[in-house]
């Protein structure tokens, strides 16, 4: 989901020059031109603030004139001789008043205000990822309301999902294109070096129609272009690593690496972006290469890949046009611990968006993805006793008791099992049992969204084709059909708003799941439907409260109905101190047989998070985090576990800061110390 970012200083200079020039040039026939008060409103990161209320105040404190800052934060208001100060008020900001400089009108003002990031920013910034005490990005993302990191081990360890939907799976995009391990389900999030992520754009499960597959648990788009002006971070501790980001003219290079003893891998990632004016618009291109290698410890996963992306934006008097495209290629080799699994994926994404200011925005896109993989059944699953006798039904004791999971009539008929030649020779114990698979996804979608603060909507529909073909188990399925989604929000007045959505999604199982789990013919393709509703209160100053309920129904390979409820609060206690807290409770009724070495999807999930953050302009920052997790299911049940994590960023000199932190994950406490340079 690339976003075109023009250089802030260029647009600011051009706008202020144009405004000042227009106000300074007298008009023929006018004895005395009206002076203009011109300027720009920016936050402490230099980002423009649009929609800020600008008031010209006289010496007595009375408001003489008012105006509003435009999209690039600039304003121009006819002044008066009595104007003494300019007062700025905006949503989620500290109101600020500044005196006019000597000479009054004609001197451009640049007003810097304190913006409440916890309320204004929907996700985590590069500053958050580098400061928070978590090595892996999934744990950091799990601080945001209703996002649930996956606590399973192995190659699944670094995933995160929207409310635990779709069995905790989600679609991860790298610079706009998907990458996926068909054999075991790993994704691009697992390949990012520790604490180096720049930004992630999150789209909820209701936007799954845009990608057609694996997006039932939300979509997370990694973006290597971070906050200017870049910098260098180096860490030492349990797991060392470093990350460097730069802005060199129109180029933005990035480089990061980490050595993770817990996961048993080293991760390296490098990229280069370029932005320039082109054909009346802005063109941005980029390329990213990444590599992951085992460190010699059991469980290491080798992987590599790359992404190339381009985005173009232009605007006329009536319309704004955006076009972006991404191409990706990735491969995974999961090693003997995971049955010598390997896979490769390639994907192409093209999106077109047309905006009409103040009206409906339309969007269209095309997605094509191809996945191939091989999986070797581990020795423990390949012993002769684990197979049924060819032509016979399953041994009575080998399946769950009738009434639990699937009913007896839902199992395949005897003739649907693999042919005798596909089983190991009686009495032998093969090292692996190779299975090959080919998956495909093709999507064409259209979408529209629009409205105003009183009422808004987002609607879309995709024509989606998914296919799955798995050797050895003789499974081949194909489906094509519409995937609709609609959501809306209505203001109830006094800061309250009601929202609701209904959406559908497709998912396909991994090769490991296909082999390990009994399934009747025609059930490999999973379809999901989601209904949710929420109530929100926002005073547009310091407090936001949300509550939500949802119901998800999965049919096909996984058969499960999940209901949940959640609540969240964000409170800017004082200008420099914020508090974010939320809780989520899920309960599921599953008809699917669990498999011990596959990702753990609990039947009940409870998660609560409280995150306090203190940050001042000089660079000092403190984070204190408490989270409590409980997961129960047929494979594992754990008592509620409460962890306390924290970090400190301490400025040492101009642009140089030391970082220290500690966190506990999967029962292990880790510590780190690092250095950040400008």
Least confident segment among 7-16, 88-97, 145-154, 554-563: 7-16
Q: What is the pLDDT of residue 510?
A: 82
Q: What's the mean per-residue pLDDT of the chain? A: 78
User: What does the pLDDT read at residue 501?
Assistant: 96
pLDDT in tens, 349-397: 998 888 776 678 899 999 888 888 887 754 444 333 333 334 444 444 4
pLDDT for residue 646: 96
Q: Which residues contact 396 (CB under 8 A, 6 or more apart)?
A: none
Q: CA 87 to CA 230: how far, in whole Å?
A: 32
Summarize pLDDT for 490-499 with one digit per residue, the tens.
999 999 999 9
Tell me if 58 sits within 8 A of 64, measured CB to CB: yes
Q: Of 328, 335, 273, 285, nearest to 305 (Cα)?
A: 328
| pLDDT at 122 (0 to 100) | 80
Superfamily of domain 8-115: Immunoglobulins (2.60.40.10)
* Residues carrying CATH 2.40.170.20, the chain: 118-225+233-388+431-677
* pLDDT for position 337: 61
Per-residue pLDDT band for 146 (boundaries 50, 70, 90) equals: very high
- Structure confidence at residue 185 (pLDDT): 80
Least confident span in 187-196, 339-348, 412-421, 559-568: 412-421
Question: For residues 537, 543, 548 and 554, what is the CA-based torsion angle, rounded to 10 degrees?
Answer: 130
More confident residue, 598 or 417: 598
Establish whether the linkage from the previous residue to 229 is cis, with ω within 30° of 0. yes
Give the residue, 677 or 322, on which the prediction is more confident. Answer: 322
Rg (the chain; Cα; Å): 27
**Lowest pLDDT segment from 60-64, 228-232, 309-313, 534-538:** 228-232
Residue 478 tokens read as 């194909």
pLDDT at 525 over 90: no
Percent residues over pLDDT 70 in the chain: 76
Q: 488: which 2 tokens?
A: 């809306």
**Across 212-280, where does the E strand assignment appear?**
219-223, 231-237, 241-245, 251-260, 265-278
Write down the pLDDT at residue 473.
63
Domain with CATH 2.60.40.10 in the chain: 8-115
Structural domain 118-225+233-388+431-677, CATH architecture:
Beta Barrel (2.40)
Residue 144 has pLDDT above 50, yes or no: yes
Task: Give the pLDDT mean for 546-572.
Answer: 92
Give the pLDDT score at 638.
Answer: 57
């Amino acid at each position: 989901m690339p976003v075109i970012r023009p250089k802030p200083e260029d647009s600011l200079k051009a706008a202020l020059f144009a405004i000042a020039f227009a106000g300074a040039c007298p008009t023929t026939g006018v004895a005395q031109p009206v002076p203009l008060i011109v300027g720009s409103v920016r936050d402490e990161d230099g980002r423009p603030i649009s929609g800020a209320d600008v008031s010209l105040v006289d010496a007595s404190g009375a408001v003489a004139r008012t105006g509003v800052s435009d999209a690039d934060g600039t304003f121009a208001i006819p002044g008066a001789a009595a104007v003494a100060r300019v007062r700025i008020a905006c949503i989620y900001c500290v109101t600020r008043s500044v005196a006019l400089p000597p000479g009054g009108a004609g001197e451009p003002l640049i007003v810097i205000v304190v913006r409440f990031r916890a309320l204004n920013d929907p996700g985590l910034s590069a500053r958050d990822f580098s400061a928070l005490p978590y090595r892996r990005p999934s744990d950091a993302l799990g601080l945001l309301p209703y996002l649930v990191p996956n606590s399973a081990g192995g190659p699944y360890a670094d995933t995160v999902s929207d409310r635990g939907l779709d069995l905790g799976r989600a679609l991860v995009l790298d610079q706009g294109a998907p990458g996926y391990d068909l054999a075991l389900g790993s994704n691009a999030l697992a390949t990012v070096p520790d604490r180096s992520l720049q930004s992630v754009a999150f789209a909820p499960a209701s936007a799954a129609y845009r990608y057609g597959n694996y997006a039932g648990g939300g979509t997370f788009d990694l973006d290597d272009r971070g906050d200017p002006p870049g910098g260098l971070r180096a860490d030492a501790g349990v797991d060392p690593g470093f990350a460097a980001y730069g802005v060199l003219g129109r180029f933005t290079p990035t480089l990061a690496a980490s050595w993770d003893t817990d996961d048993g891998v080293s991760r390296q990632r490098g990229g280069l972006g370029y932005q320039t004016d082109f054909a009346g618009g802005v063109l941005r291109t980029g390329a990213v290469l990444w590599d992951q290698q085992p460190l010699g410890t059991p469980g290491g996963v080798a992987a590599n890949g790359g992404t190339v992306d381009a985005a173009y934006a232009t605007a006329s008097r009536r319309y704004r046009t955006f076009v972006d495209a991404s191409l990706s290629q990735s491969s995974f080799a999961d090693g003997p611990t995971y049955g010598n699994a390997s896979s490769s994926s390639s994907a192409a994404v093209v999106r077109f968006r047309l905006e009409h200011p103040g009206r409906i925005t339309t969007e269209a896109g095309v997605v094509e993805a191809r996945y191939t993989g091989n999986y070797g059944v581990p020795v423990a699953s390949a012993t002769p006793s684990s197979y049924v006798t060819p032509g016979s039904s399953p041994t009575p004791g080998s399946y769950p008791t009738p009434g639990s999971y699937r009913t007896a009539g839902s199992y395949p008929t005897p003739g649907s099992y693999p042919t005798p030649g596909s089983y190991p020779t009686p009495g032998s114990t093969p090292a692996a049992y190779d299975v090959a698979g080919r998956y495909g996804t093709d999507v064409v979608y259209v979408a529209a969204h629009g409205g105003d603060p009183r009422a808004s909507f987002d609607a879309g529909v995709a024509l989606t084709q998914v296919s799955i073909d798995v050797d050895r188990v003789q499974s081949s399925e194909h489906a094509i059909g519409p995937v609709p989604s609609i959501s809306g929000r209505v203001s109830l007045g006094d800061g309250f708003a009601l929202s609701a959505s209904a959406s559908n999604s497709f998912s396909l199982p991994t090769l490991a799941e296909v082999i390990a789990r009994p399934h009747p013919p025609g059930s490999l393709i999973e379809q999901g439907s989601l209904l949710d509703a929420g109530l929100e209160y926002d005073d547009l100053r310091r407090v936001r409260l949300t509550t939500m309920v949802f119901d998800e129904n999965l049919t096909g390979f996984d058969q499960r109905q999940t209901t949940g409820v959640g609540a969240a609060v964000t409170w800017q206690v004082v200008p420099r101190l914020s508090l974010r807290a939320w809780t989520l409770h899920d309960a599921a009724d599953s008809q699917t047989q669990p498999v011990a070495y596959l990702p753990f999807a609990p039947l009940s999930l409870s998660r609560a998070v409280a995150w306090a953050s203190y940050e001042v302009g000089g660079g000092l920052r403190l984070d204190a985090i408490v989270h409590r997790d409980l997961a129960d299911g047929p494979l594992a049940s754990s008592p509620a576990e409460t962890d306390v994590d924290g970090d400190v960023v301490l400025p040492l000199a101009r642009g140089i800061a030391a970082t220290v932190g500690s966190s506990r994950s999967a029962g292990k406490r880790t510590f780190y110390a690092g250095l950040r340079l400008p």
